Structure 1
Amino acid sequence: MSGNTITHETTTSADPVGTTRGTSVAPSRAARELGLKRSEFTLAVHLGRIRTLPDDGGGGGRRVARDEIERIRAQQGFPEVLRESVRSVGTAEGAALMEVTRARFTRLARLGLLVPVSFYINRYRAVVWLYLADELRQFASDERNAALLKGRTPEGLRDQLTEGLDLRPRNWRGRHLGFLLRRADDDPWSRAAAVASLLDPVEVSEVVRDPCERSHLLRFRPTQPSHGVPGSPSAQLAEEIMTAADPDEIDWLRADLAGAVDAARRQRPAPRPVPRGAEHHPAPKERHPQRRVPHPERSASTPPGPAPRPPKTEARGRIRGLFGRLWRRDP
């Protein structure tokens, strides 16, 4: 079983629809009008079931066009079909849905055969993985998976489980990256920031060495799901899950980040700070050397006059300096 099981989801287009704030609504209102809980609405957006558009009113968030809401409401079976398409279940409910034991369900998930769609940290600081009910039903109904649902797990897979293989965090990160890239639309820096969000800051600084580009990248960093108070054990555990850990996964993301930043740099270079005072003191214009014109009353054979005398203050300074040197030489 290979560890390289991360895939990007691009099944459903999430291109923005509409551009006017007056013809769109906030996510909370869209969720109410579509009969969804906020968590269900967020998942529906991630999966491409609901298309959003940038908030052109300066809010920086996302909105849902009125036309999009009407399109969804007009679909056959609304709202039950929509709700079922985003229903997520945990291990116990998922095992019952697939008619397998919880232990077998967990083994299949650790092997990467069942990909989590989200997770949360419970009050015991344990990670609870959630899966799409639709995907579990499809897996169980596929005849090619019958051997995995009954009987002994193949020896090769058992060995990997014994060695501690658990692809759930990595597969979630791959799926989550697909969500972030879909939300980034065509903005090159947003796409680069989506990749960077799954890497440790040290890794990002090694790939993006230019401090101006790193600072610009940080402006587009997507907001990650919150899990507890910042700095709490739950938040730290969630941060570990959201950060790439396997060496080959890190190498893959670093290569993706380097390519994304290079593309963003070519399309729209990161802004540079203006030198201090440059906006108030423009650089002087370049002067061209002027040809000296001789005085009309002085002929070419006239020798140049004596050098001008230094100012009195300068002359006094020189005399004082001379006396000072003489004074220091006296025994």
Structure 2
Amino acid sequence: MEWNRQLKVIMMSVLMVIALPLTSISAFAANGSLIPMGNSIGIQLELSGVFVSSDVVLSDKKASLKAGDQLIGINDASITSMKTLEEQVGSLGDTDELKLTLTRQGTEVTIKTDGLLFKRSLPFLKDTTEGTGTLTYVDPEKGSYGALGHQIIDSSLNSAPDFESGSIYLSEIEQIKKSSPGKPGYKISSIIDQEDTLGSILTNSVYGIFGDWTASYKEVLTEPIEVMQPTELKVGTAQILTTIQGTEVESFTIEVSKIAEESFQFKLTDKRLLEKTGGILQGMSGSPVIQNGKFVGAVTHMFVDEPEKGAGLFLGKMTEVGK
């Protein structure tokens, strides 16, 4: 960020979802206009293999799986998914000797263990990763969307995961754990319908996630609004759209305090929002920011020691990837 690099800042997962039938709103879309969303979404990525989520000791010689390892083989069998792994495990005896082939930080590693110890490691293996956030915009002309305003980082892999495919889903906020200085709060949510996707995930970039929009939901705004140019943003009152209860998208007042070339800072000023959340929450990344009827950008970060303060990314920068 262009401002005070010494302040502690954290990315917040926040996605918005507003949905109208694409056929009914495409006529309203104009050049430089997008539909601001604000709904909470669940995110699921199908990883490009089977990965280890935590360190696991596998022998008396302290041979172990390490968080971030990719399991690529058991004995002579190739492992590409949890399904192929389960097929191999199903025929294993507890005393069977195993040779595990792993990729660890770009290097191939071999570990020997037995069936019982390996079976105990299964809860720490995965081929998917999940998260929550806020949908930022839908482009009705292109049938696409953008969300989050920052990259998805898998906490167990400590990196942006390689993935084969992904989807976003409408989610419902069930509970709020409030933010306090030094302790970011978060939303507790659940996907409403696992069979009903809002869209695919095609790109996981430093400016957010992007993909094809495939659904329609209860409208938040009836038509796209003009995207604001960075030079138009003014210090002063603006609004964010986000969800803090159920699936309802609401508008809350903020105060823009500092403006940089690609980003801006703000402070939450809405008393009801602050009473409910204590500040910005994990899961709010992607919440749209509106000023004077124009679409400014998306919430991306919070200041950990001052959770009522946050930062956002201009929509023009975010959509450079989503075009």
Bigger RCO (CA 8 Å, 6+ sep): 2
- When you count strand as a share of all residues, which structure comes out higher? 2
Is the helix fraction higher in 1 or 2? 1
TM over 0.5: no
Alignment TM-score, normalising by the size of structure 1: 0.18
